[in-house]
């Protein structure tokens, strides 16, 4: 988060400006390893702020990672509670929280409407429901001509196929960001607002992104692309999205080769000034009042 300090700042300012900082209790649904609960919720705890910050997820493994992140460094009064539960059946009484958030969660569900109705149920009157979701269909990209690569334009084809494939195979909607106001309206919320941020700008020349972070991000992507189980699943989604398996495998091989080349360049301390291709996906934060 160090090289992307605008992300927690964006959440903090958007959520605080709407709620005026008066948040009696926060629930983060589909919290995973605790991104939002930790970066936003922890700051609310203690000193007369929120009485309780809770993260809920269906995955015990993710919750364990979230608890490990809390660690011993955080004082007991500032610790987030993590509870295993299904978002469709939240184990809380009606009106239990002043703010109910979620991030990159609704896009994974077959019935985001149902989850939002449940989030609204546990939100108190005059409290807020605030989901954050990306819109993969609203991405922006640019490749300088002289780079001589088709990587980004092929990346666009792949991303579009992944959107179609996820919808077809799993009923998921990675373009859900643009639907958030309508979904909040359907969940019975009012005074709806929406703000956006480019949370994932893949612009390696960004001088805030250190060479070391780029190396570890690229190395992780390369590891994922070399993981057979992971790539087989990815290929399955892309085939469902309309691409041929042979084309995808060639694309993945090219991508791996380019990534390996970039890693070598980064490790040899050659300048990253020439790395000016741009690829970014917007995230939308919508808020509705109960
Ligand atoms: C992409 S992760 C996002 C995690 C976290 N919100 C973040 O921003 O890093 C989506 C999370 O939703 C959880 N999830 C999926 N279906 C769920 C359900 N029905 N109830 C609760 N959590 C669920 C998954 O276990 C996963 O941790």
For residues 130 and 226, state if they share a domain: no
Distance from the alpha carbon of residue 203 to the mean position of ligand 1, in angstroms: 27
Q: Angle between the 151-170 and 245-267 helix axes, to the nearest 10 degrees?
A: 130
Q: What's the number of domains the chain is made of?
A: 2
User: 30: Cβ below 6 Å to ligand 1?
Assistant: yes
pLDDT of residue 136: 95
Is residue 277 domain-resident? no
pTM: 0.91
Structure tokens belonging to residue 207: 């001088």
For residues 40 and 67, state if they share a domain: yes
Pocket test for ligand 1, best of 8, 108, 110 (most atoms within 8 A of CB): 108
Distance from the alpha carbon of residue 231 to the mean position of ligand 1, in angstroms: 21
For residues 62 and 186, state if they share a domain: yes
For residues 33 and 86, state if they share a domain: yes
User: 101: Cβ below 6 Å to ligand 1?
Assistant: no
Is residue 263 domain-resident? yes
**SS3 assignment, position 87:** helix
**Residues 245-257 pLDDT 10s:** 999 999 999 999 9
Tell me the C-alpha distance between 71 and 85, whole Å. Answer: 22
Measured by CA distance, the residue closest to atom 10 of ligand 1 is 105
Distance from the alpha carbon of residue 19 to the mean position of ligand 1, in angstroms: 24
What is the maximum span of the chain, computed from C-alpha positions, in angstroms?
A: 59
Pick the more confident residue, 73 or 182: 182
What are the backbone angles phi and psi of residue 209, rounded to the nearest 5°?
-85, 115
The predicted model gives 219-245 an average pLDDT of: 96
Pocket test for ligand 1, best of 7, 10, 32 (most atoms within 8 A of CB): 32
User: 59: Cβ below 6 Å to ligand 1?
Assistant: yes
pLDDT of residue 47: 67
**Residues 95-136 pLDDT 10s:** 999 999 999 999 999 999 999 999 999 999 999 999 999 999
For residues 130 and 144, state if they share a domain: no
What are the backbone angles phi and psi of residue 194, rounded to the nearest 5°?
-145, 135
Structure tokens belonging to residue 147: 């780079």
For residues 59 and 122, state if they share a domain: yes
| Domain coverage including residue 34 | 6-135+175-201+282-289
Distance from the alpha carbon of residue 52 to the mean position of ligand 1, in angstroms: 20
For residues 111 and 243, state if they share a domain: no
User: 38: Cβ below 6 Å to ligand 1?
Assistant: no
Burial of 37 (0-12, 13-18, 19+ CB in 10 A): buried
For residues 126 and 143, state if they share a domain: no
For residues 154 and 257, state if they share a domain: yes
For residues 194 and 128, state if they share a domain: yes
182: how many CB neighbours lie within 10 A of its CB?
Answer: 12
């Amino acid at each position: 988060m160090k090289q992307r300090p605008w992300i927690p700042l964006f959440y903090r300012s958007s959520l605080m400006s709407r709620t005026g900082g008066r948040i009696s209790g926060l629930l983060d649904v589909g919290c995973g390893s605790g991104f939002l609960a930790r970066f936003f919720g922890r700051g609310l705890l203690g000193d007369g702020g929120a009485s309780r910050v809770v993260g809920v997820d269906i995955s015990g493994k993710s919750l364990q990672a979230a608890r490990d992140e809390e660690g011993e460094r955080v004082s007991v009064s500032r610790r987030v509670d993590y509870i295993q539960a299904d978002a469709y059946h939240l184990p809380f009484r009606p009106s239990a929280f002043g703010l109910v958030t979620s991030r990159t969660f609704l896009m994974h569900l077959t019935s985001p409407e149902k989850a939002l109705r449940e989030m609204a149920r546990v939100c108190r009157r005059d409290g807020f429901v605030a989901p954050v979701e990306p819109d993969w269909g609203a991405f922006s990209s640019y490749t300088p001509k002289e780079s001589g690569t088709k990587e980004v334009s092929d990346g666009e084809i792949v991303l579009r196929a992944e959107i179609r494939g996820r919808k077809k195979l799993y009923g998921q909607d990675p373009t859900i960001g643009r639907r958030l106001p309508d979904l909040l309206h359907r969940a019975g919320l009012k005074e709806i607002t929406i703000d956006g941020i480019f949370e994932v700008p893949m612009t390696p020349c960004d001088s805030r992104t250190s060479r070391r972070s780029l190396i570890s991000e690229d190395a992780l992507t390369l590891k994922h692309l070399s993981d057979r189980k992971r790539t087989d699943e990815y290929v399955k989604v892309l085939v469902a999205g309309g691409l041929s398996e042979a084309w995808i495998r060639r694309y993945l091989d090219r991508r791996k080769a380019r990534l390996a080349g970039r890693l070598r360049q980064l490790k040899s301390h050659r300048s990253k000034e020439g790395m000016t291709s741009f690829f970014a996906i917007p995230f939308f934060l919508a808020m509705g009042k109960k």
